Amino acid sequence: GRLEELEIEGLTLERALVFPSGLTILIAIFTELNIQCMTLAGGALREGLVYGMLHQSVDQDIRSRTLRNVQRRFIVDTDQAQRVSQLASQFADQVKKSWDIEPLSRDLLLSACALHEIGLSVEYKQAPLHAAWLVRNLDLPGYTPAQKKLLATLLLNQTNAVDLSSLHQQNAVPPRVAEHLCRLLRLAILFASRRRDDLLPAITLAADDEKLALTLPENWLEDHPLGAGLIGQEYQWQSYVHWALDVK
């Protein structure tokens, strides 16, 4: 017979096409695990919620797999994502004593680095907006809804004007921590913008309360006018939301 002619009450045509293979798998599971009976449940947990209940080390492995899958799906330049991640990690190390960045917060920062260019697959001009929308709507195993909202908020604020209220409306981390993560992400993206490891300057970042001091090699600003212009613009963006940034 034909699968399309399979008639079972409540079984749609779409499900009828995969019913035999699903039944075969179920029979094999019952046989191998010696299961005697099964009861129908009224609901189900999404995969991400189940993953969220697992041990942290397992959860990190799942997150890594999720990030790789998303990068592959949206054809992300993984070399650039890694470059930004390494810079952000370096910055986090330099300010960790003053800003007390916890391991989970750091992990979420690096996740944002890995995904920051997914919006380019939709449109260049509004890539941050598209990246935020994608993260909000994608299924991301290993991340809680609150963490997804934080990631989306960080991606929305990765460049240009800062929407401070959005950083305060997420609840994955305290608002001040979200601000810190956003500042580190923005600086990492800025300095990695030339997309070459050999063009990255030696950067020292220090935090004194909410003030960031950025130290560059001697004469770097004079020798790199385009970079100096980008840093000057970033100084303005951060000053608009009262984030103090001192560039030397």
Pairing of strands 245-247, 204-208: unpaired
**Angle formed by the axes of helices 175-191 and 145-156, to 10°?**
50
The number of beta carbons lying within 10 Å of the beta carbon of residue 135 is 26
Q: What is the pLDDT of residues 207-240, one digit of tens each?
A: 999 999 999 999 999 999 999 999 999 999 999 9
Alpha helical stretches, state H, the chain: 13-16, 19-33, 47-52, 56-73, 78-99, 103-115, 127-137, 145-156, 164-169, 175-191, 220-223, 225-240
Q: What is the pLDDT of residues 79-124, one digit of tens each?
A: 999 999 999 999 999 998 899 899 999 999 999 999 999 999 999 9
- Rounded to an integer, what is the distance from CA 14 to the centroid of its chain? 34
47 pLDDT higher than 60: no
- 82 with 188: CB under 8 angstroms? no
Query: What is the pTM (predicted TM-score) of this model?
Result: 0.78
**What is the pLDDT confidence band of residue 155, given thresholds at 50, 70 and 90?**
very high
> What residues contact residue 137 under an 8 Å CB cut-off, 6+ apart?
none
1 pLDDT higher than 90: no
Question: According to the model, what pLDDT value does residue 41 have?
Answer: 75
Question: According to the model, what pLDDT value does residue 52 have?
Answer: 57
Rounded to whole angstroms, the Cα distance separating 115 from 81 reads 7
Q: What is the pLDDT of residues 124-137, one digit of tens each?
A: 989 999 999 999 99
Determine the residue type at 212.
L
Question: 52-66, 188-202, 214-228: which has the minimum mean pLDDT?
Answer: 52-66
| Residue 125: C-alpha distances to residues 143, 154, 226, 240 (Å) | 28, 17, 20, 22
14 pLDDT higher than 80: no
**What is the pLDDT confidence band of residue 53, given thresholds at 50, 70 and 90?**
low
Question: According to the model, what pLDDT value does residue 162 have?
Answer: 97
As a whole number, the mean pLDDT across the chain is 90
Rounded to whole angstroms, the Cα distance separating 81 from 189 reads 9
